[in-house]
Amino acid sequence: MSFPTTTIRLGLIAASVATAFAAQAAEPVIGLITKTETNPFFVKMKEGADAEAKKLGAKLLSGAGKSDGDNAGQVTAMENMIAAGAKTILITPSDSKAIVPAIKKARAQGVMVIALDSPADPQDATDALFATNNYKAGELIGAYAKAALGGKKPVIATLDLFPGHPVGAQRHNGFLKGYGLQSLDAKSNELAKPAEVVCMADSYGDRSKGQTGMENCLQKNPTINLVYTINEPAAAGAYNALKAAGKDKDVVIVSVDGGCAGIADVGKGIIAATSQQYPLRMAAMGVAAGVEYAKTGKKVSGYIDTGVTLIANKAQAGVDSKDVKTGTELCWGNK
């Protein structure tokens, strides 16, 4: 029996379309939700996720809040991604507590949720956390600061994130622990304040707020000789305030992040040392875990440390650090 050529062609087209749909259905869909779209840290995170998704044959959906703290925007992004077929959501929570109900709802639908960089509160609200050990990051710069002061009594200002955020608390308390001062453990979301800390200000990780906070701290106590900052933009703001007051040569500034602009500031001596973290690595590991879940149904769980390295302008005896050249090779953002 013979069939018309048209029938054969239609059959081939139908088979081709069916194959395409089957391939599309088999393509793992993974969502990435960051705090903002413009912060270089999250730009690098998205680059890492994009590259790993292409490498492993996954489809990446990305979204972000309008600003740091925009929980509603992150919830909307999560709902949209689940509706689009995402079976794994990678998220850097803007509000570690407020996001939890949305995470629980997603997990109840069989979606694996992995926190990147910042934990949810409680941490086990997500399946897993891929992040820098922020307490350790703080300890590294605390130990460095103590060595850098060379026996001087510390008079400390801290430019923190904002009240109650786990990352802000871990870095702050780790810094104090690394210096050898009274502190709180890594599980606390409160900020320790030993007597050596004479001023604390919320910078929200922002340069201008960091400058204002430092100006206020100098008015409160002009003898400050050590400044801890939540990140390098806040450190740059602190330096501006110190320079305007003629105190930039007398104060040690330490920070956390490891972005290219921050590493450049370490090279210039603006920041004495910073703990460098690796957003590209966090995102790539998250995408790989999502693809594995799609293929095998196996979920990743618990905390996975994505690494941290102390980058210093000048090495200090007894403190393990890498130089600015190394930091530049591993940094993120515009060089």
Distance CA 90, CA 30 (A): 8
Q: What is the pLDDT of residue 330?
A: 93
Alpha-carbon torsion (53, 302, 159, 66), positive or negative: positive
Structural contact between residues 261 and 39, judged by C-beta atoms closer than 8 angstroms: no
pLDDT of residue 38: 84
Which pLDDT does position 24 carry in this prediction?
44
Could you name the CATH architecture of 134-276+309-330? 3-Layer(aba) Sandwich (3.40)
Q: Kindly give the residue spans of alpha helices, DSSP state H, lying in 70-165.
A: 71-83, 100-108, 134-149
Residues 6+ apart with CB under 8 A from 59: 27, 28, 29, 30, 53
- The whole-number pLDDT of residue 22 equals 39
134-276+309-330 has the same fold as 28-132+279-300: yes
- Are the C-beta atoms of 74 and 45 separated by less than 8 Å? no
How far, in Å, are 50, 89, 117, 283 from residue 59 at the CA level? 9, 12, 22, 14
Q: Which sequence spans correspond to the domains of the chain?
A: 28-132+279-300, 134-276+309-330
User: What is residue 164's predicted lDDT score, i.e. its pLDDT?
Assistant: 86
Q: What pLDDT tens digit does each residue of the chain (335 aa) get?
A: 444 444 444 444 444 444 434 344 479 999 999 998 888 889 989 999 999 999 999 999 999 988 878 999 999 999 999 999 999 999 999 899 999 999 999 999 999 999 999 999 999 999 999 999 999 999 999 999 999 999 999 999 999 998 888 899 999 999 999 999 999 999 999 999 999 999 999 999 999 999 999 999 999 999 999 999 999 999 999 999 999 999 999 999 999 999 999 999 999 999 999 999 999 999 999 999 999 999 999 999 999 999 999 999 999 999 999 999 999 999 988 76
For residues 316 and 151, is the Cβ–Cβ distance under 8 A? no
| Torsion angle defined by CA atoms of residues 204, 76, 128 and 105, in that order, rounded to the nearest 10 degrees | 130
Helix crossing, 40-56 with 279-296: angle to 10°?
30
Closest by alpha carbon to 199, among 156, 237, 239?
Answer: 156
Q: Which pLDDT score, from 0 to 100, does residue 14 have?
A: 43
Residue 252: Cβ within 10 Å count? 22
Cα gap 33→90, rounded to integer Å = 6
> Which among 236, 219, 317, 217 is positioned nearest to 274, based on CA atoms?
236
Q: Domain 28-132+279-300 belongs to what architecture?
A: 3-Layer(aba) Sandwich (3.40)
- Reading the block at residue 235, the tokens are 């450190």
